[in-house]
Structure 1
């Protein structure tokens, strides 16, 4: 596989991660509303596991995991993306205990739910790290930094910051009164904002948005 094909493969993986990330909260919400017969927000994106949208949630997380594991660019990117991919699959296969209202929640369910929460938080923080530190790098050998690259770096930093803030607010939101949590679904919104931010960052990295004039795949970082 030649250099041109390598660039094309990396770009397609970036685009795939971005598209699935952005589509997931939208598809899960719309699908759940369709099956429920009314528009109702999920307790969390992960809570889709306990609805008719289980297969879509698991499939989406596994797809993101496969994309991340297959993603190859630089040694550090390779290691971190593989870890993130493994975390994504773990999040899919170890469901959250929240939202499982039809069956009693056992001690093993709680343990599995904790594994889910830890892996989900670690995944989001890794993806924030990609935005803040890896995507913003500049290769001196690639020549002068283009105006488009500077704009993309701003987008990456904004997306990374949004993810970190959303991850911090999600557990903090559990301190709100139960009536407020039930009405607003703050965890769902925190997760949705984080997922959309990560999806946008990967779309920008794949140059579906803010392309360099020199062509797709020109981003040297």
Structure 2
């Protein structure tokens, strides 16, 4: 098991990057696209690739706690698989078709981009869905095992996991409806994939921040500020 300081730092890093990702994509490209993955083909692709790669590398190096009696999987196994999944998501991007908005890098070969390769697109979707599922699993099952955690925090962890799974489930259902009825749901609910991804990312980001005891950092900052303010008065 990694020391607690390292664990808290890794968790907070994942949380902060998760909160920043969708905002950076929108601010950089300033155009709403069908999904976060489509920003791979824009100036926002810098942040998309960097942050998702950072997720992967952090999760691969995350040890967590040893498997307890009665547990099926260790923290390390779950985060290692999740890390591999998100790296695959970066290395095999989504297809560039139907972006809803404007893309920049589609007129010539761009990194590993492709226009409409269904097989590569399926691998991208499967790896991304697996990443979200495993992060939801961490929140729902793993983060609540700390006996020192309050009941309110455990409720937050479980709800975060449920929100992540519900978002992924909703996407799967909508994708199925599109295939069966041969319709484009973006015409009904523009960028629905992007918004559901945002919900899922924020759900696991908040869970990792709380698990990383981000509130302790704020308490320390406030205490330091109050101390400095008190010293200035004297």
Superposed, 1:162-173 pairs within 5 Å as: 162-173=163-174
Match of 1:85 in 2: 83
Pick aligned residue for 2:18 from 14, 21, 33: 21
* Distance of 2:82 and 2:200 partners within structure 1: 15
Segments of structure 1 that go 5 or more residues without pairing to the other structure are 34-39, 140-144, 214-221
Match of 1:218 in 2: none
The alignment partner of 1:136 has SS state of helix
* Distance of 2:82 and 2:184 partners within structure 1: 32
Match of 1:60 in 2: 51
* Distance of 2:158 and 2:213 partners within structure 1: 16
* Distance of 1:16 and 1:57 partners within structure 2: 15
Displacement of 1:181 after TM fit? 3.5
Match of 1:6 in 2: 3
Match of 2:199 in 1: 193
Match of 2:143 in 1: 135
1:108-138 deviations in Å (ceiling 9; x for gaps): x322111110001111000000011000113
The alignment partner of 2:144 has SS state of coil
2:96, 2:115 within 8 Å by CA — same for their partners in 1?
no
Match of 1:122 in 2: 130
Displacement of 1:209 after TM fit? 3.5
1:46-82 deviations in Å (ceiling 9; x for gaps): 1111212112101110001111111112230011111
* Distance of 1:70 and 1:7 partners within structure 2: 14
Q: Determine if the alignment matches structure 1 residue 95 to structure 2 residue 98.
A: no
Displacement of 1:183 after TM fit? 5.5
1:132-152 deviations in Å (ceiling 9; x for gaps): 10001134xxxxx45xx2111
1:170, 1:187 within 8 Å by CA — same for their partners in 2?
yes
1:68–1:153 distance in 2 versus 1, CA, 3 Å: same
Match of 2:64 in 1: 73
Q: CA RMSD in A?
A: 2.4
Q: Determine if the alignment matches structure 1 residue 178 to structure 2 residue 175.
A: no
Displacement of 1:22 after TM fit? 1.1
Segments of structure 2 that go 5 or more residues without pairing to the other structure are 67-73, 108-113, 220-234
